[in-house]
Amino acid sequence: MGGFFGVVAKEDCVADLFFGTDYHSHLGTMRGGMAVLSDKGFQRAIHDISNSQFRTKFENDFRRFEGKAGIGIISDNEDQPLIISSHLGVYAISTVGVITNLQSLVKELYATHSVQFSEMSRGGVNPTELVATLINSQATLAEGVRYAQHKIEGSCSLVILTLDGVLYAARDRFGRTPVILAQKEGAVAAAMESCCFPNLGYTVSRELGPGEMVLCTPDGVETVLPAGDQMAICSFLWVYFGYPASAYEGRNVEMARYRCGGALARRNPVDADSVGGVPDSGVAHALGYAVEAGIRYARPFVKYTPTWPRSFMPPDQKARELIAQMKLIPIPGLIQGKRLIFCDDSIVRGTQLRDQVKRLYDDGAKEIHMRIACPPLLYQCRFLNFSRSKSEMDLATRRFIREIEGENADIAKYRDPDGSPYQDMVGRIRQRLGLYSLAYQRLDDLVEAIGLPREKLCTYCWTGEDVSKPNGCTHGCSRCPSQCAAGSAATAQ
C-alpha cells in the first residue's frame, strides 16, 4: 500500500520528517525515500527496505540532511520521492495508491504528447513519474492534479514539495486513502496515519475530503481544490492496514477492532478455554471477542518483535510463509489440551493459517475455532493493492468455489452469509484448514463496527461493488456505465 509524510516549518524539519515517515513503516515493505529542501536545493535518499527497517537505512541521511521542508514515503513498489523539472517548475513528488490503467495511460501519452519516461520500476514505467507527467500536461499544479485524478483508474493520493518551499497535499478522488493535516507552532504536516503526530508535538487539525488539494506553508493551510461529494474510503484500514492508534474520518482503528470482535462473539459463540489473536492485527479483535464472550484472553502464540515487525516481509510467497512461521513462537502451557478460539483479520490464500493450525495441533491443542474479522475475500482489490496475489484465483475463496462448480461460477451468490453456496464454501475452507469451526464477520456488522455509513466505505473485496461508480458497476472503471466493457478491459491490463 504505502504511506507518506510531508512537512513545512520555520525551523529545521528533518527530525519530524524522519520519525513521521518511520511511523508509516507498517504500510509498505519494499522502498523508502526522503526529499528535503535546503538552501542548496533538494537532498534526496531512496533505499531498499525489504531486508531492513526504514530507521536503520536512513540513519545516515537523517544526520546529513538539513532543511525546513520535506516529504517522505514508505512504498510497496517504486522508487520515490521523484524530483521533477517541468514548465511548472522543479518539485518533489510522492504518491500512494495503484494505477490499474497504467499501460493504457502510457500508450495515450506516447500517442498524444512528446514524452519519455526515465524512472523505470521493475522493468516498467514508474507510477509516480506517470502521475507527474499527467500533472505536467496542464497549465498549473492544481489543474494537473485534478486532471490526473480523473484520468487514473484505481487510486492516487499525493504530496508535492515545490522549490519555493510550498507543500501541496491531495487526497484520492474518492478518498480511498486518508490524508490528515496537523499543526504545531511554526510547522504544518500532512500524513496518512494520524498516529504519527502526537509524539512529534503536532495536533490534528482536520482530514482532507475526497479529491481535495491543499497548499501548506508554516503559517497555515489553503484549499486549492475543493473536496468532492463521493467517499469510498477503504474498509480494510480498520480491519488490517491501519495502525491501532490512528483514526480515519474520526473512527479509531483499535476501537473499531474491539467492536468487530464483540460482533463475532455475539454472532458466533462457542465454548472454549481462551481467546487469542493472530499477531498483530488479530489481537484487538480477540480482545473485543473475549470481553463480549466472557472468556479469558490468552496468547498461545507470541510474536518475536525485535526482528520481525509486520512490515518486515519480502515479496516472495515462499519466503513470507517461512517468516510467518519463524516470527510466531508457541507457548505450550497455553495450548496443550486446550479449546482455543483465534481471531484473525482475514484469510487471503490460507496457506499461513493452515500451517499455524497444524502447529497448534502438533503442540497438543484439543480444539481450534477461527473467527475472521471481515467477510470472505471474493475479489482482488483494484484500488490499493493490499494483497500481493497475482490473480483472484490465489484467494482461498476462489479456489474452493472452483472446486465446487468449476471456472465459470456465479461469484455473487457466494456473498450471502445465509445462503447455501456461502455455507458450502466456508465449510470446505474450514475442513481444509482443519478447524473445529470457522466463522467470518458479516458485512453489516463490520460496517457498524467502523461507524461510517455503508455508502462512504469501499467494500469491493467482499462484494465486487464499487460504491463510487454509477449503476452498481463492479469493474472499478471511470468510464461507466456507457463504456464499461472498455473500462474493464483497460483495468485487466
Stretch among 47-51, 111-115, 469-473 having the lowest mean pLDDT: 469-473
pLDDT in tens, 161-207: 999 999 999 999 999 999 999 999 999 999 999 999 999 999 999 99
> CA 136 to CA 428: how far, in whole Å?
52
Residue 492 lies in a domain: no
| Cα separation, 105 vs 250, whole angstroms | 35
Residues 207 and 270 in one domain: no
Residue closest to 128 by CA, chosen among 103, 170, 109, 156: 156
User: What string of DSSP letters covers 138-202?
Assistant: SSSHHHHHHHHHHH-SEEEEEEEEETTS-EEEE--TT--S--EEEEETTEEEEES-GGGSGGGT-
In a domain, 329, yes or no: yes
Q: Check whether 133 has a pLDDT greater than 50.
A: yes
pLDDT at site 479: 39
Residue 138 is predicted with a pLDDT of 96
Q: What's the pLDDT at 255?
A: 98
For residue 245, being part of any structural domain is answered with: no
Answer yes or no: do 206 and 338 share one domain: no
Cα distance between residue 248 and residue 171, in whole Å? 13
What would the mean pLDDT of 486-490 be, rounded to a whole number? 36
Average of pLDDT values for 318-327? 66
Residue 242: inside a domain, yes or no? no
Lowest mean pLDDT among 101-105, 232-236, 350-354: 350-354
Report the chain's mean pLDDT, rounded to a whole number.
90
**What pLDDT, on a 0 to 100 scale, did the predictor assign at position 200?**
98
Please report which confidence band the pLDDT of residue 387 belongs to, taking 50, 70 and 90 as the band edges: low
What CATH number does residue 437 fall under? 3.40.50.2020
Query: Based on the domain organization, do 202 and 122 belong to the same domain?
Result: yes
Mean pLDDT score, 216-245: 96
Q: Say whether pLDDT at 87 is over 80.
A: yes
How many domains does the structure of the chain reveal?
2
Q: How confident is the model at residue 311 (pLDDT cuts 50, 70, 90)?
A: very low
Based on the fold, state whether residues 199 and 347 are members of the same structural domain.
no
pLDDT at 476: 46
Same domain, 200 and 316: no
Query: What are the counts of helices (DSSP H) followed by strands (DSSP E) for the chain?
Result: 16, 25
Q: Are 11 and 127 found together in one domain?
A: yes
Q: Is the pLDDT of residue 317 over 70?
A: no
Domain-located, residue 489: no
What are the tens digits of pLDDT across the range 10-37? 999 999 999 999 999 999 878 999 999 9
pLDDT band of residue 483 (cuts 50, 70, 90) is: very low
Query: Is 396 found in the same domain as 322?
Result: yes
Q: Which residue type sits at 61?
A: D
Q: Are 261 and 343 in contact (CB under 8 A)?
A: yes
Give the mean pLDDT of 55-61. 92
Q: What's the whole-number mean pLDDT along residues 232-240?
A: 97
> Which residues neighbour 324 within 8 Å (Cβ) at sequence distance 6 or greater?
352, 355, 356
**Cell numbers placing 63:** 544526520
Closest CA to 416 of 462, 466, 475: 462
For the segment 53-77, the average pLDDT, to the nearest whole number, is 93
The residues, any chain, with a CB within 8 Å of residue 61's CB and separated by 6 or more, are: 34, 45
Answer whether 0.85 is exceeded by the pTM. yes
Q: What is the reported pLDDT for 402?
A: 92
Over the stretch 243-291, which tens digit does the pLDDT of each residue have? 999 999 999 999 999 999 999 999 999 999 999 999 888 999 999 999 9
Angle formed by the axes of helices 420-433 and 396-405, to 10°? 110
pLDDT at 65 (0 to 100): 97
Task: Give CA–CA dist 278/353, Å, rounded.
Answer: 9
Cα separation, 486 vs 493, whole angstroms: 11
pLDDT computed for residue 467 by the predictor: 74
Domain for residue 235, yes or no?
Answer: no
Does 219 share its domain with 260?
Answer: no
Tell me: do 110 and 209 sit in the same domain. Answer: yes
Q: Is residue 475 part of a domain?
A: no
Percent of the chain with pLDDT over 90: 77
pLDDT digits (tens, 9 = 90+) for 328-380: 899 999 999 999 999 999 999 888 899 899 999 999 999 999 999 999 999 99
Q: With pLDDT > 70 as the criterion, what percentage of the chain qualifies?
A: 88
The answer to whether residue 236 sits within a structural domain is no
Collapsed DSSP state (helix, strand, coil) of residue 131: helix
Note down the domain range covering 96.
3-229
CATH code of the domain covering residue 108: 3.60.20.10
| Predicted confidence (pLDDT) at residue 120 exceeds the cutoff of 90 | no
The whole-angstrom separation of Cα 161 and Cα 93 is 7
Domain boundary among the residues 229, 244, 274 is at 229
- Window from 148-157, 187-196, 310-319, 348-357 with minimum mean pLDDT: 310-319
475, pLDDT greater than 80 = no
Q: Indicate if 269 and 131 belong to the same structural domain.
A: no
What's the pLDDT tens digit per position in 406-440?
Answer: 888 999 999 999 999 999 999 999 999 999 999 99
Q: Does 176 lie in the same domain as 306?
A: no
Half-sphere exposure of 109 (CA within 13 A, CB side): 23
Grid cell in block for residue 44: 534526496
pLDDT value for 114: 73
Say whether both 260 and 224 belong to one domain: no
Determine phi and psi for 484, rounding to 5 degrees: -60, -40
